[in-house]
Amino acid sequence: MQDFILHTPRVDQGVKGYNPYVFDEKTMNGPSEFEAEILIDDYIYRYSFQINGKSVLREKLVRILTNREQSLFVREGKKKFELDEAYQGVDSQRLQFVFQGTQENELFLSNTVDQNVESFKPIYNWFARQLIIIGPTTQLISQTDTVFRECSQYMKLLDTSVKSLEFIEVSRNYIRADVFEDISKSLAIDAPFIIEHNAGERYLLHKKIDGTISVKLLFSIHEGNDGKDYQINFSEESDGTKRLFDLLPAFVAHNKNATIIVDEVDRSLHSLVTKQLFSFFLGKSKLCFNQQIIATTHDLQLMTQELFRRDEMWVFERKENGTELIPLSDFEDIRYDKDIRKSYLEGRMGGIPHVMLPLPDTDDCV
């Protein structure tokens, strides 16, 4: 959804994100639907669109008020466009003009921003700046100096044996020429950008005001048995330490009003470390930042009411026609003092694999 909003395909390309349910003849060629409810400046908006492999079939933006819903715009392919009466005169004319120029495989929301129309830019900016998505192998691509210093400090506090982190300037020749050229085209002035290259090495690229680009390589500092500091390439660290470096900016950065989505948050991490990350994030969010984190995990040690409310924990239940998300708050017999992990493993909440692998027979040893 985010990728399609921020990166409009070429006219001759298909629609990004089209992913129908292929295990049913009725749906394998059917549309895909996307919907998000977001909070911006004390207003709740619902933005949705429906697509097939070639075009946007429907697109809608609604503002949710106390006692009603205000439909800001509705678009039905290239045939129909309705605009709320709040947009009058020049605004209405410009938006109608933008709609006429919106391609079949393009979102109207995205095109308004491309055409420098400000009407719905806050919605677009939320997806561009406030929605942070981190996959199992994602490197968070940008960090401020402040966030980097905090991450360096927390790496030590989380018992990684890393005393500190340091970026050291190196030649641009460390990065393959074609890779450097591609990245340099998209670099913004004074916006540090981190990439992984050369078998796990982390490079910080920084475009200066004069257009020159500095390249720095990440090293970790360890204290040796003799009390001296020793420096190693960060690529030599364990998978868990590398994963922490990628996750920490999302957990410690002061991203006010941000929504962070993390897939497989526990990958390569000890349960106690993952718990500590969530405890820190939740405490920080309650104190001074309106933030939200949505994470998937296989670590059952995180399934505890000491850390999360029941309505904050959901299980994936595989059905015959797809997968359903069920909040633990739907199960009325779960008390606040109950060991929900035990109940889950006993199959009382669904979402567990039905394993039928037979036990080995003595004949297998012959």
Across 237-276, b (16+ Cβ under 10 Å) vs e yields beeebbbbbbbbbbbbbebeebbbbbebbbbebeeebbbb
Given a cut of 70, whether residue 143 has pLDDT beyond it is no
Q: Pick 220 or 190 by higher pLDDT.
A: 220
Instruction: Among 256, 282, 301, identify where a domain stops.
Output: 256
pLDDT at 366: 59
Domain count, the chain: 2
Residue 150 lies in domain? 137-256
Mode of pairing for the β-strands spanning 56-64 and 201-207: unpaired
Highest-confidence range of 11-15, 74-78, 180-184, by mean pLDDT? 74-78
- Domain presence at residue 273: no
Half-sphere exposure of 256 (CA within 13 A, CB side): 5
pLDDT at 144: 67
Give pLDDT tens digits for 294-327.
999 999 999 999 999 999 999 998 887 778 899 9
Q: Which pTM value belongs to this model?
A: 0.85
pLDDT at 308: 93
- What mean pLDDT comes out for the span 76-104? 90
- Domain presence at residue 199: yes
Instruction: Among 132, 163, 182, identify where a domain stops.
Output: 132
- What distance in Å separates the CA atoms of residue 245 and residue 165, rounded to the nearest whole number? 10
- Domain presence at residue 323: no
- What mean pLDDT comes out for the span 161-178? 94
Give pLDDT tens digits for 244-281.
988 988 888 767 788 999 999 999 999 999 999 999 99
Q: Which residues contact 103 (CB under 8 A, 6 or more apart)?
A: 8, 11, 111
- Domain presence at residue 324: no
- What mean pLDDT comes out for the span 96-124? 95
Q: Which residues contact 243 (CB under 8 A, 6 or more apart)?
A: 267, 268, 269
Instruction: Among 80, 97, 132, identify where a domain stops.
Output: 132
Q: Which two tokens stand for residue 138?
A: 């994602």
- What mean pLDDT comes out for the span 25-33? 88
pLDDT at 137: 64
Using pLDDT thresholds of 50, 70 and 90, give the confidence band for residue 63: very high
Asked whether the beta carbons of 82 and 74 are under 8 A apart, the reply is yes
Q: Pick 239 or 252 by higher pLDDT.
A: 239
Same-domain check for residues 14 and 28 = yes
